[in-house]
Chain A
């Protein structure tokens, strides 16, 4: 900028400025140019997509062709998928996962939405303490709770049971979702609830007719996240399931690691099968995730 130059006292050496303003400007212009930006994005995408692509290719190879140094399978085959789904009976694991994730999502939303609303609106004794308690339950590593959880499930006879796995999933994701819903409700002006109450609503009606419809993006985001998180959860499911009676797909994939050898092609096929539903969800619902988590799009 010219006025920078004008303010300089003539005669004083300007070399104290290590990099001239012009050079710095050129540098940032380059960094922010479309080429550089796109190159960075392309690199980021590759790190995500290459392993996925590799797995996809592997899943179409016959088991014997895994160690061939071809990128593309010489004789692409769906045989592996057939073996995994029907032969090994892994359709049951996918069904289990669907049941577990769906019911987890329903239960978590049914609890987190009113809980988040209550934490955002009501002042009651120990409200902050209670809220910290909710958050606290997720602050230590889950592995610390795996053993007591196993013991409890064994005692009540819920080992290898869909209900047992679902309980674990609800425990794992409910606190986070209460937190997200609370923040979302805070972004909805309380004046709207008050206005509804003056207009003739009970507190419950104000929640149902005004706050709830406005919280839809947040609820959608929470639902999607809960579904995705519980779909891919591994540790707790691994501990309490041992057969395909209740085993979700995330654990089932792992079962292809045998004592002697690893069935790479089957594992790849099972992984792809496990990924497909999540890809669908992300593609179709991503706008809800974005609007839901970057709330404040709602101004009163």
Chain B
């Protein structure tokens, strides 16, 4: 396996020369510029390069307008890149029609043909390609069986529920057994409960079918649960690409840190003082000595500005009475503005002093006796904190 496909660098640029053997889709330095009717230009995607391995489930995630859907549509051939190339299974498909690319796509609104029955919808990609009748029939039955929609085959899409329509759209995508599946926010039209259920089913389906999949979503939870790797995009640029846990543990910059994780990471303005053999971090809420490992990473980065942004995940803060204190924990006594019991844990909204200062979220154990409108003693896990460059947003302690 090449170095570069595993790469988690911010740019994720491919190495020069031939793509690695098992690369199935290569997004090669594409830029997409849309011309607006008033003559202006919008750069939707800028210098994006990603290699997707055979059988990999890659999730493109980012806020709306970040260019993820444009990227997917470029791979599909529904948009042509202003610059750069798309390669599928080693072949340059940049100039090819969607139908010549050996892909199938699930659209956000499913795009089922309303005038066709479920059976006709699923068999359409085969029919257009003049597959023999018995082969078509066999494959449709197989796909329907896999997705549990056999009894719906003779209905029209309008007679189906959202979840059923979703399954039909998946069936139409898998029936042709293409090289790549493309999915554009396929779960966003389902209600919350069904979305979680379909997410699991998609995961299982991917395990069984094992096809290369590029999946676009704005939902970080979907990205984390589905992706073998996640590519986080913002403003048309790739921020970080890597396995979910890596993005969570070692975000490359403040954007990724804030995007991955729910509730999002707390960011606090902090001052950084060198203490000879280490660093001391001072914030409005608490001060602490930077753990040795983090300090080493900070030294490695070659940058140690006076002011930084401290990032602490809500789940790395807990009730001090419920965790053992240690060298790598910092105690502090904030004011509890709001408590939100979730059952499995309890969300606290905190401020350094009553009614003033920047808000902070903590996700503490449900056994915590923190009460609203009182101060409480909390403990933050310093091994998990991050320091970000104020100016560039880069993570200095990764």
Contacts and interface: CB of A to CB of B under 8 A. Distances in A.
Contacts of B172: 199
A300 interface: yes
Contacts of B113: 192, 195-196, 210, 214
Interface string B109-148: 1110111000000001100110000000000000000000
A205 B115 CA distance: 15
A300 B107 CA distance: 11
A300 B111 CA distance: 6
A14 interface: no
Given A198-B103, A198-B105, A192 B128 contact: no
A195 B113 CA distance: 9
A46 interface: no
A209 interface: yes
Contacts of B99: 197-202
Given A191-B108, A197-B97, A200-B176, 11 more contacts: A191-B107, A191-B109, A196-B128, A197-B98, A198-B182, A199-B99, A199-B176, A200-B99, A202-B97, A214-B113, A214-B114
A132 to B, nearest CB: 14
A298 interface: yes
A133 interface: no
27 contacts: A189-B111, A191-B108, A192-B113, A194-B76, A194-B105, A195-B111, A195-B113, A196-B113, A196-B124, A197-B97, A198-B76, A198-B77, A198-B78, A199-B125, A199-B172, A199-B176, A200-B99, A200-B125, A200-B129, A200-B176, A202-B97, A202-B99, A210-B113, A213-B115, A299-B114, A300-B110, A300-B111
A202 B77 CA distance: 12
B128 A201 contact: yes
Contact of B78 (A194, A202, A210): A194
Nearest to B78: A194
Contacts of A300: 109-111, 114
Contacts of A198: 76-78, 98-99, 103-105, 182
A197 B104 contact: no
A300 to B, nearest CB: 5
Nearest to A192: B111
Contacts of B97: 197, 202
Interface string B74-110: 0011100000000000000000011100011101111
Interface string A191-223: 110111111111001000110011000000000
A130 to B, nearest CB: 15
Contact of B115 (A191, A199, A214): A214
A131 to B, nearest CB: 14
A122 to B, nearest CB: 14
Interface residues of A, number: 20
Tell me whether chain B's interface is mostly helix, strand or loop, or mixed.
loop
Contacts of A213: 115
B341 to A, nearest CB: 36
Nearest to A199: B125
Contacts of B77: 197-198
Contacts of B98: 194, 197-198
Interface in B224-243: none
A189 B172 CA distance: 18
Given A200-B128, A205-B128, A194 B111 contact: yes
Chain B CB within 10 A, most for which of A189, A192, A200, A300 = A200
B95 to A, nearest CB: 15
A199 B114 contact: no
A210 to B, nearest CB: 6
A199 B111 CA distance: 11
A201 B77 CA distance: 13
Contacts of B125: 199-200
B111 A298 contact: no
Contacts of B114: 214, 298-300
Contacts of B111: 189, 191-192, 194-195, 300
B78 A197 contact: yes
Interface in A244-300: 298-300
Interface string A167-201: 00000000000000000000001011011111111
Contacts of A199: 99, 104, 124-125, 128, 172, 176
A191 B76 CA distance: 13
A210 B176 CA distance: 19
B85 to A, nearest CB: 19
B74 to A, nearest CB: 13
B127 to A, nearest CB: 9
Contacts of A194: 76, 78, 98, 105, 107, 111
A195 B129 contact: no
B71 to A, nearest CB: 15
Residue from the set B76, B110, B113 with the largest chain A CB neighbour count within 10 Å: B113
